[in-house]
Structure 1
């Protein structure tokens, strides 16, 4: 069973694209959601995060996400340390999930698929792109974030140009109908590749 990595910059519309794959019956694993779930449920992760950020990182056994975010957004070293706690746990969780699936392929959706080298474990990778202005508008509506906060988060990710060089497929997500057509085309290309391999 093939693993197809799905990624894109913040606000590009990865979740929308993942939804289109789901509609076609393809199982989707969302790494960010898994990371959040594991931060809430794994005792080992909780202890490691408290060890990194102190007792304020958790309240009533639940992660204080705003506090943690404030510690990592301007500190690349702290962000890397947090990722070293979360990413191996997510990788193990994905492996368990993957073994239970029975489709031709699965989608592994991760915000920093290329930055972490995660794409090397995938048979194919898909990059979702959208113009920066559209991405900023979407995020302002979705998160009530300021332009400065959004820019800061974008700066923690690689540029689309850099990611495009590594992607097998690129989806330009500006018009929903066109995006859906692109997803269908990629779906058939992956199925075709599966039959030929």
Structure 2
């Protein structure tokens, strides 16, 4: 199985590009969506988030309190703290999913993430595609 990273700035066309790849049979993991799912469903990750960001991170029914967490992370400059909790779990679970998809016969597994190259190219990828658009197009799309 070929493993591909797909990245690019906001409004660059990553999602459109990925949708076309899906039509061709690739499995695309959308990192932002997967991270939100993990923050909602992974008990160990929930415990870590609650320990660092407080009990307000989840409501009384155990649902992720996105407005609160966004405020804590983005307005208070704690994005890196949140990323340090979520990213290791995200990439570990992504690798587990890739292995499962390979067993199911998937030939191309793509990871779509805006910050894929933040710490260099992930070693588990065969190659990375950077989707680009000029600034005018990006502004129109957002």
TM range, normalised to the smaller chain? Answer: 0.7 to 0.9
- Secondary structure of 2:131's partner? strand
Do the aligned partners of 2:31 and 2:112 also contact (CA within 8 Å) in 1? yes
Q: CA deviation at 1:123?
A: 1.0
| Alignment CA distance shift 1:66-1:116 (3 Å) | farther
Bigger relative contact order, structure 1 or 2, given CA contacts below 8 A and separation 6+? 2
Cα shift readout 1:131-166 (whole Å, capped 9, x = no counterpart): 233323322xxxxxxxxxxxxxxxxxxxxxxxxxxx
Using the size of structure 1 for normalisation, the TM-score is 0.64
Larger Rg over CA atoms: 1
In 2, distance between residues paired with 1:33 and 1:8? 16
Residue in 2 that maps onto 1:131: 134
Deviation at 1:7, TM superposition (A): 0.6
Residue in 1 that maps onto 2:70: 69
Structure 1 unaligned segments of length 5 or more: list them.
140-197
Partner of 2:14: 14
Partner of 1:119: 122
Q: Is the 8 A contact 1:119 1:125 kept in 2?
A: no
Alpha-carbon RMSD: 1.7
Name the CA distance, whole Å, in 2 between partners of 1:45 and 1:13. 30
| Pairwise CA distance, 1:19 | 0.4
Which residue matches 1:56? 56
